[in-house]
Structure 1
C-alpha cells in the first residue's frame, strides 16, 4: 500500500496539479463559475412558475410571461456571460486589461454566433419590421463557442500588444483612454476575423463544436451510468490525492454540467414533466443525491466521528458537523485526514459510486424526478433535492436513504481508523506519563 501511495505522490499528483493550474483551464473554470449567481437566481423563478399548489399556480398564471423574463435573461443567455467571464479571467493571468478583453470577447462571440433575423413583414401588435437577435443563439447550447471565442480573442489581443501592433498614445493620457486606443487595432482584427468566418464563409463555430463534443457530453453529463460513475470516481480519486477534485475536472466537465442543467431547466420551464427532462447526470444530481455533506458523502463519516471513543475524532466531528451539514467538507478531508489515507480513501470513493448507481436506477424508473433547477450548494441536501425536482418528496427520501447507505459503507473503515487513532492517543499519553 505504501508503494502505491508513493507512486501516486510521485507520478500522478504532479501531472494532475499541472493540469489543474493550466492558464486556460483555470480561466474556463473561473469564468463559468462566475455565472453561477445568475443561473441560481434564474432557477428560483423557474421554481416559482411551477409551484405544485393549484390555488397559487392559478394566481401566478396571468403573470407567467413577465415572470419568465428573469429566466430568459439569466440561464437563457448563459453563454454571453460566460464569454465575458472567461476572457476577463484569462486576461488577468496575462496582466492585460480585463475589461477591454471581456468586451472584445463578447464582440467576437456575438459576431461568430448570432445571425440577426430579418423581419420584412411586421406582425401587427407583436413585432415591427427590422433586424432582431434570437436570444436562443446565446443559450448554453453555444457555450463551447463562447469558450473558444473568449480564448482566441484574448490571445489575439495579447499577441498584438506584445508585438506593438497597437495605436500608442502619448504619456499623460488617462489609462482608460490609452487602453481603449491600444485595443483599437485588435478590435478590428477580431471583428473582421469572426465576421469572415461566420458571415462570409458561413462556418458556425458553436454548432460545429457542439456537434463534435456532444457525444462526450452525453456520456459525462447526459444519461450514461458509465459516464456518471467515471465522473464520481475521478473527482473523489483526485480528492484522495489531496487535489481539489472539481478544480481538476471542472474545466472539462463544468461546461457539460451547465449545458445539462440549462437544458433541463429550459425544458421544464416550457412545460416538460420533471420525470421527462433531457439529462440525468447534472451537477445537481451529484450535489444533492451523492455529495451529502460534500464530495465523498463525508457527512456520514462526520456523524460517526461524533460517537467515536477517540477524543481527537470526536472533536473533529463536532468541528466538521455544521460545515458538513451545508456541504462544506474541507475540515474533515484535511483534518482526519482522508487525503493520502487508504483506510478512509476507499469508502470516500466507494460510497458515492454505490449511491450514484442507486440514484440512477430510481431516476430512470420514474421513482425520483430529474433535476429541474439550480440551487446554491450550501442548501441542506434533502431540502435542495426536494426543491430541485419540482417539490418531489421522494427526492428528499432518497437523500436520507443514500445517507444511511454511506454510513453503513464508512462504518467498518471508521472502526479500523478509530482503533489506529486510539492506539496513537494511548501511546501519546504513555509518553506523557513517562516524561
Structure 2
C-alpha cells in the first residue's frame, strides 16, 4: 500500500495539480461558478411555480407569467452570463481589462450562437412584425458554445494587446476611456471573424461543440449507473490524494452539471412532472443523496469520531460535526486525516459508490422522482432532497438510509484506525517513560 501511495504521489499528483491550475480550466470553472447566485435564485421560482398543494395552481394562475420571468432571465439565458464570466475570468488571469474581455466574449457568443428571426407580418395580440431573438438560444443548450467562443475571443484580444495592434491613447486619459479605445481593433477582428465563420462558412460552432460533448455528457450526467459511479469515483479518488476533486473535474463536468440541471428545470417548469426529466446524475443528485456531509459522505465519519476513544479523533469529530451538517468537510478530510490514509481512504471511496447505487435504483424504480431544483449546497440534505424532488418525502428517507449505510461502512475502518492510533499512543508513552 505504501509503495502504491508513493507512486501516486510521484506520478499522478503533479499531473492533477497541473490540470487543476491550468489557466483556461480555471477560467471555465470560475466563470461558470460565478453564475451560481443567479441559478439558485432562479431555482426557487421554479419551486414557487409548482407547489404540490391542492388549489395552488388556480391561485397563482393570474401571476404565473410574472413568477416565470426570474427563471427565464436566470436559467433561461445561462449561456449569456457564462460567456461574460468565462471571458472575464480568463482576462483576469492574464492581467488584462476584464470588462472589455467580458463584453467581447458576450459579443462573440451572440454572433456565433444566436440567429435573429424576421417576422414579416404582425399577429394581433401575439407578435408584431420585426426582428427577434429567441431566449432559448441563450439557454444551457448553448453553454459549451459560450465557453469556447469566450476562450477564443480573449486569446485574440490578448494577442492584439501583446502585438500592440490597438489604439494607444495619451497619458492622462481615464483608464475606462483608454481601455475602450484599446478594445476597438480587437472588437472589429472578433466581429469579422465570427460573422465569417457563422455566415460566410455557414459553420455553427455551438452545434458542432454540443455534438462533440454529447456522448461524454450522456455518460457522466445522464441516466447510466456506470457514468454516475465514474464521476463519484474520480472526485473522491482525487480528494483522497489531497487534491480538490471538483477543482480537477470542474472545468470538464461543471458545464455539463449546470446544463443538465437547467434542462431538468426547464422541462419541469413546462410539465410539472419530476418523474420524466432528461438527466438523473445532476450535481444536486450527488449533493443530497451521496455527499451527506460532503464528498465521501463524511458526516457519518464525524459522528463515529464523536464516540472515539482516541482524543485526537474525538476532537476532530467535535470540530467537524457542525460543518458536516451543512456539507462542509475540509476539517475532517485534512484533520483525520483521510488524505493519504489507507485506513480511511478505502471507506471514503467505497461509501459514496454504494450510496450512489442505492439512490440510483430508488430513482429508476420510481420510488423517488428526479431532481428539479438547485438549492444552496449548505441546506440540510434530507430537507434539500425533499424540496429538490418536488416535495417527495421518500427522498428524505433515502438520505437517512444512505446515512445509515455510510455509518455501517465506515465503522469497521474507524475501529481499525483507532486500534492503530491507540497502539501508537501506548508506544509513545513507553518511550517517554523509558
Partner of 2:62: 62
Alignment of 1:365-376 (within 5 A): 365-376=365-376
Q: 1 CA distance for matches of 2:126 and 2:58? A: 26
| Aligned pairs (5 A) from 1:87-106 | 87-106=87-106
Quote the residue 1:169 is aligned against.
169
CA distance in 2, matches of 1:5, 1:13: 10
Aligned partners of 1:202 and 1:11: how far apart in 2?
44
Matched residue, 1:336: 336
In structure 2, what is the Cα distance between the partners aligned to 1:267 and 1:54?
Answer: 22
Q: Which residue of 2 aligns with 1:34?
A: 34
CA 58–430 in structure 1, closer or farther in 2 if over 3 Å, else same: farther
What CA distance in whole angstroms lies between the structure 2 residues aligned with 1:61 and 1:278?
A: 26
Cα deviation, residue 417, structure 1: 0.6
Q: Distance in 1 between matches of 2:69 and 2:418?
A: 54
- 1:259 Cα deviation from its structure 2 partner: 0.9
Is 2:278 the partner of 1:278? yes
1:60 Cα offset (Å): 1.5
RMSD: 1.0
Q: Indicate the residue corresponding to 2:231 in structure 1.
A: 231
Q: Which residue of 1 aligns with 2:209?
A: 209
SS at 1:270 equivalent: helix
With 124-133 and 258-267 compared, the bigger mean Cα shift is at 124-133
Cα deviation for residue 62 of structure 1 reads: 1.9
Partner residue of 2:130? 130
SS class of match (1:304) = helix
CA deviation vs aligned residue, 1:226-285 (integer Å, no higher than 9, x gap): 111000000000001100000001011111111110110000000151111111000001
Please give the secondary structure, in 2, of the residue aligned with 1:68.
helix
Point out 4+ residue stretches in structure 1 off by more than 6 angstroms.
Answer: none
Residue of structure 2 in register with 1:300 after alignment: 300
Aligned to 1:10: 10
Q: Secondary structure at the match of 1:399?
A: helix
| Equivalent in the alignment of 2:183 | 183
Whether the 8 Å CA contact 2:275–2:366 is kept in 1: the answer is yes
Q: Secondary structure at the match of 1:312?
A: helix
Q: TM-score, normalised by structure 1?
A: 0.98
After alignment, is 80-89 or 418-427 more displaced? 418-427
What SS does the corresponding residue of 2:96 show, helix, strand or coil?
coil
SS of the aligned residue for 1:118 comes to strand
Q: 1:381: which partner in 2?
A: 381
Deviation digits for residues 86-120 of structure 1 (CA, Å, limit 9, x no counterpart): 01100011000001100000000001111111111
Matched residue, 1:200: 200
Match of 1:313 in 2: 313
Instruction: Describe the SS at the equivalent of 1:10.
Output: helix
Is 1:51 the counterpart of 2:55 in the alignment?
no
Find the counterpart in structure 2 of residue 152 from structure 1: 152
Distance 2:92 2:38 in 1: 22
Whole-Å separation in 1 of the counterparts to 2:431 and 2:407: 34
What is the rounded CA distance, in whole Å, between the counterparts of 1:177 and 1:199 in structure 2?
32
Partner of 1:242: 242
Which structure 1 residue ranges, 5 or more long, are not aligned? none
CA–CA distance in 2 between the matches of 1:148 and 1:173?
A: 33
Q: Distance in 2 between matches of 1:34 and 1:286?
A: 21
- Match of 2:203, SS state, is coil
Deviations 1:394-426 (A, max 9, x none): 110000000000110101100001111222333
Q: Which residue of 2 is the match for residue 268 of structure 1? A: 268
Question: Aligned residue for 1:72?
Answer: 72
State the shift of 1:312 in Å.
1.3
The CA deviation at 1:41 is 0.4
Mind listing any 5+ residue stretches in structure 2 that lack a counterpart?
none
- How many residue pairs get matched? 434
In structure 1, how many angstroms separate the alpha carbons of the residues matched to 2:304 and 2:35? 36
Cα shift at 1:200: 2.6
Contact 2:122–2:128 (CA under 8 A) maintained in structure 1:
yes
Segment of structure 1 superposing worse, 419-428 or 340-349: 419-428
